[in-house]
Each structure stands twice: as C-alpha cells, then as structure tokens.
Amino acid sequence: MSRLKILLIACVVLSACTHIRAMTSHRYFPLKQGNAWVYDIKLDGKPSGHILQVLVSDVVNESSGQVFVVSEIDESLEPHKRHDQPTTYQSRNTGIFCQESGAYVLPSSLANCQTWQAGPLNTAGMNRVISVDANLEAAGQYFEGCLVVERKEPQFNRRIEFTFASEVGLLRSRFFKLSDSGVTLPYREEILIEFGHLTPPRFLRPPN
C-alpha cells in the first residue's frame, strides 16, 4: 500500500473519531425524578415474556451534591435473585457518574471512538463510543442520531452495546459473549417499549 493511501486512511479515521458532540451526555441520560422506562427482555433472540422496569424514584441532597436514586425491577429474575439495592447517579459537569461502579456512565463530551474506564479498577473493562449517529426503532418510534456505547467486560466474558436517544435515555442494551471473531448473537436484549414521567414517582406498570 502506498504511503499516500495510508495517509488518506489515517485522515479518514482521525476525522471520524474527532466528530465531537459537546456536553450531550445529560441529554442522553435524563435524570429527573419520576422518569420511568419499561424494557422488553429477549433471551437468545426469543421473547422472554418478562420486562425490566426502571424509575428515577428519588433525589437526595448529599454533601457531594444531588444524588438520583434509580430503582429497577428485572422480572426475568426470581425475587430472591434480584438486586436488593438501587443504583445511584450524580449529574456532574464532567458527566453522568454512577456511585456504585465508581465510574462515568457517560462523560460530558462525547466523540466517536472515545474511550473511558467502566470502573476504578483496570479490570472493570472499557467503554467506547462506536456511533454518534445510529438509528433505532423502539417504543413505536424511530430515533435518529442515537449514541451507541460498547462496553467490554473481560471479567464477565461479555460485551454490552448500549444505544441512547437524546431526551429519552437508554433505548436498548444488547449483551454478547466475548469471542475472538466478535461475531455473536446477543444472548440478552433489553429494548424500550414505553417511557414517561409520573408524579409521584411510580413504575409505569404494576410490578409482579
């Protein structure tokens, strides 16, 4: 390959990776008390008949700032196997921070190919923006300009793909087994089927 071709390819890659959308993370992860989402769960490509419900149930003022308490019920898990704690997030100038994982879910500025750690330890895995202009149909709507983040978690031997839509939040999560070829079908998929805002905060569907 000629030097010119290599230079051209490098320029194209560099150009694609520096397409910055400044300060967008807060739009892609709207934390407002009463915001609620319902996801349909597919396992091994088939409908499971179960849903995952997520709700911003409270906002707490702590010394480090406002903390958003996010409740989750995964109805594909038996009650005794469900997590018995919520996830807590902070909306910081530097991005959306998850207190439990000790890492940013989304940093404030997002660019294609951008990477950041999924946790404070090197073993926690890495997040990487793989698209800032994806399209996806969910909850009966067609969303354009979606953000897609890939997380590789070697310790769990899995790769997760998160698709976010502006002002709506997480549209889809797809879980893959890590493989050398990288070509696998998702063993689990959670896709948004309903979202809204309820006051006082409550799940959109009565939980089982």
Partner 1 sequence: MSNVNYNNKTVSDENVKTVLQRVADQLKGDVNVFSGDRSAVPKGGSKTSHHLQGRAADFSVTGYTLQNVFANLKSKKSDIFDSVKKYQVIHHGSHTATGGAHIHIGRYASGSGVSFLIEGLTAKTKGIYTSD
Residues that bind partner 1 (CB under 8 A): 41, 52-53, 55, 57-58, 60, 62-64, 67, 69, 71-74, 76-77, 79-88, 98-102, 120, 153, 156, 158, 160, 173, 175, 188, 190, 201-203, 207
CB of 158 to partner 1, least distance (A): 8
Q: How many CB atoms lie within 10 A of CB 192?
A: 25
H-type helices in the chain, by residue range? 3-17, 25-28
End-to-end CA distance of the chain: 61
Q: Give the residue with the Cβ less far from partner 1, 15 or 155.
A: 155
Q: Give the residue with the Cβ less far from partner 1, 62 or 144.
A: 62
Q: Give the residue with the Cβ less far from partner 1, 39 or 143.
A: 39
CB of 182 to partner 1, least distance (A): 20
Please list, in sequence order, all residues whose beta carbon lies within 8 angstroms of the beta carbon of residue 14, skipping any fewer than 6 positions away: none
Q: Give the residue with the Cβ less far from partner 1, 21 or 172.
A: 172
CB of 153 to partner 1, least distance (A): 8
Number of H helices, E strands in the chain: 2, 14
Can you read off the two tokens belonging to residue 143? 């969303």
Q: Give the residue with the Cβ less far from partner 1, 53 or 112.
A: 53
Q: Give the residue with the Cβ less far from partner 1, 72 or 111.
A: 72
CB of 166 to partner 1, least distance (A): 20
CB of 9 to partner 1, least distance (A): 35
CB of 42 to partner 1, least distance (A): 12
CA-CA-CA-CA dihedral for 95, 101, 103, 106, to nearest 10: -40
Strand, helix or coil for residue 133: strand
- List, in sequence order, every residue forming a beta bridge with 39; answer none if it has no partner: 52, 192
Can you read off the two tokens belonging to residue 103? 């890492």
- Distance between CA 75 and CA 101 in Å, rounded? 23
